[in-house]
Amino acid sequence: MISMNMKKFIKYICLITLLFGSVSCDDFLTVEPEDSLTTGNYYNSEERIRANTATLYGSVWWDFHSQFMWLAGDQLAGDLYYTYDQEGQFFYFSYNNGNSYILYGWRGLYRVISFANSVINDMPKAAANVSQSVIDAAVAEGKFVRAVAYYYLTEYWGEVPIIENSTDMIVSGNMFVPRNTRKSCYEFMIRDLEYAAKYLPAEDSQKGRATKWAAEAMLAKVHLTYAAAAIGNSGTYGDAATHFAKAKELCQDVIGNSGRKLEDDYSYLFTWEGNNCPESLFAIQCRTGAYGGGSSRNVNFSRSSVIADQTWGAGKGPTIDLQKAFDQQKDKRRIWTYMKQGDYYSMLNKAGGGYHYKNYVEADNENPNEMLAHIKKYVIGKAADTDNHVGLNQDAANNIHVIRLADVYLMYAEAVLGSGASTSDAKALEYFNAVHADRAGLTPATSLTFESILKERRLEFAFESLRWLDIKRYYYRNSTAALELLNSQKRELIYVLKSGVSSVEDRNNNDNYQEFTPEAGFVKVYDSQMFLPIPAEALTGNPLFKDPAVDYTFND
């Protein structure tokens, strides 16, 4: 018979989901049959505990990463052009709290937190016949993953409720919680990540699990974000210099002592073969075989059935503003970020001799989109091209990066720059140029500004859903400048055929297209849109969300 503790675990997963957006518990919680599951056999070995923490890395992230992650990370930022229905509302900043993808993102992240809280709070009390070090490491995994989820929640929604122990909420019957301040959320993340850095191993026998270096990298990012907030809100967030110094120290430790390295081949990072390579610090683990278990980006980003078994990416592409940011001749990353006229990819459409990108191919019914370009990053092709590492359930097996070593290199430069206008620090330039010059093939930088680092991050991480989070740090530092950046993009600028052009040959000649400004003009972004609205379902479920945010009381 299922134990009382396990019943409580199942109950709190259901209730916490109802609190933050209703969905059936059966949608994401799989338990053993009641006649076989007891507390005594659920956590009675290291293998069982590890099997439980493994759930923190894969399908639990689906609601977040399947669409919301790139809708918010890349479309809000003005890098990904797509204008259809509720997805297009992110591009136009026309969403409201009824947007279903905003609900999926919110609900998905609290789903991750629910699973992490179970590991952190319920597992240690139920564990038997295992060492304290095994328990500590499992708790550290839970705290690491919980901190990552809170990082996304805080940067997208701002003031959000901190749920530290879901079981206690059930025992007390207190299911209504207030929103907490961003400062409290940063402090909460720091505490979780410091614990994780202390108790996680430097290397794990199973690649893809969180390590000390992943925790330190995420901790550096939180300190950088905290520092940016301190610059823009004097006094409220403390001393920016302290957070910059800590971020620098953490980045240096990861770079100097982790043994990790940048991949020589940039394209390798986004293939299934490149999963958990030495540059990857933390990635959502993807596999084929079941809906929700793999990456949907191969489907969402791929142009046509010529290169993918399923495809929804025909109308998506890099905005003209993003294309103009790339050095088209020198930047080696461009061809692996997006496809344009004349590009060739031997790994796609292998049965047809590879894939030659053309704006318009009449026989294959491949029409040009408004960008004259389509996304390549994370697009790996068909099952036949990938040794069956692509399924038919939006389940490609290439992982989704959350943080990788190149991020740490560029964060180091940002930390050294601090609140200054520019820096020529030798170590900052060395790490910056390892990404910018050595791998990307661009002219080495001799000095750095926040804007130059921000641009480099845009090129390095395009379509990895980091751009909006980077713009948010710019916004915290200088809200006026960040809004000017967003409003200078002309994100709706598109290409149209010149009059009189009709043949396939002419449609494959980029000289026969011209830029066109839509009659409605360009999107205008305002301060009030820099944080997403709390989903309507969550507001209905918890009336306290409408009250002002409060500082969180930590139990020290």
**Range with the poorest average pLDDT among 214-218, 358-362, 527-531:** 358-362
Is the pLDDT at 527 greater than 70? The verdict is yes
Instruction: Return the pLDDT at 477.
Output: 97
CA distances from 438 to 56, 276, 406, 464 (A): 35, 22, 12, 21
Which pTM does this prediction carry? 0.93
Q: Which residue has tokens 């990298």?
A: 217
Q: Chain-wide mean pLDDT for the chain?
A: 91
Cα–Cα distance, 280 to 332 (Å, whole number): 20
More confident residue, 169 or 265: 265
Q: Which of 154, 169, 182, 189 is nearest to 550 (CA)?
A: 182
Cα–Cα distance, 450 to 552 (Å, whole number): 32
Q: Which of 201, 248, 179 is nearest to 547 (CA)?
A: 179
Of 11-15, 24-28, 355-359, which has the strongest mean pLDDT? Answer: 355-359
Pairing mode of beta strands 344-345, 355-356: antiparallel
Structure confidence by residue, pLDDT tens digits, 143-192: 999 999 999 999 999 999 999 986 655 544 456 899 999 999 999 999 99
pLDDT band at 530 (very low <50, low <70, confident <90, very high): very high
Instruction: Enumerate domains of the chain plus CATH numbers.
Output: 4-200+535-546 (1.25.40.390)
Please give the single-letter amino acid code of residue 217: A
Cα–Cα distance, 372 to 81 (Å, whole number): 11
Structure confidence by residue, pLDDT tens digits, 370-408: 999 999 999 999 999 999 999 999 999 999 999 999 999
Instruction: Return the pLDDT at 22.
Output: 39
Cα–Cα distance, 529 to 540 (Å, whole number): 21
More confident residue, 233 or 387: 387
Instruction: Return the pLDDT at 2.
Output: 38
Instruction: Return the pLDDT at 498.
Output: 95
Q: Which residues sit opposite 338 in a β-bridge?
A: 375
Cα–Cα distance, 317 to 458 (Å, whole number): 15
Instruction: Return the pLDDT at 3.
Output: 44
Mean pLDDT of 122-151: 96
Instruction: Please give the full DSSP string across 511-535, using - where no structure is assigned.
Output: GGEEEE--TT------GGGSSPPPP
Cα–Cα distance, 11 to 331 (Å, whole number): 52
Greatest Cα pair distance, the chain, in angstroms, is: 78
- Helices 405-417, 240-257: inter-axial angle, 10-degree rounding: 140
Is the pLDDT at 35 greater than 70? The verdict is no
Instruction: Please give the full DSSP string across 25-87, using - where no structure is assigned.
Output: GGGT-----TTT--HHHHSSSHHHHHHHHGGGTTGGGHHIIIIIHHIIIIITTT-EE--SHHH
Cα–Cα distance, 296 to 13 (Å, whole number): 25
Cβ pair 410, 235 in contact under 8 A: no
Residues 6+ apart with CB under 8 A from 272: 380, 386, 389, 396, 397, 398, 399
**Range with the poorest average pLDDT among 29-38, 318-327, 416-425:** 29-38
Cα–Cα distance, 65 to 71 (Å, whole number): 9
Cα–Cα distance, 154 to 532 (Å, whole number): 10
Say which DSSP state 21 is in: S
Q: Which residue has tokens 């989901």?
A: 17
Cβ pair 461, 481 in contact under 8 A: no
Is the pLDDT at 336 greater than 60? The verdict is yes
Residues in the chain: 556
Quick one: tokens of 264? 């020589």
Q: Which residues sit opposite 204 in a β-bridge?
A: none
Mean pLDDT of 76-95: 97
In percent, the amount of the chain with pLDDT more than 90 equals 86
Is the pLDDT at 15 greater than 70? The verdict is no
pLDDT band at 555 (very low <50, low <70, confident <90, very high): confident
Structure confidence by residue, pLDDT tens digits, 423-444: 999 999 999 999 999 999 999 9
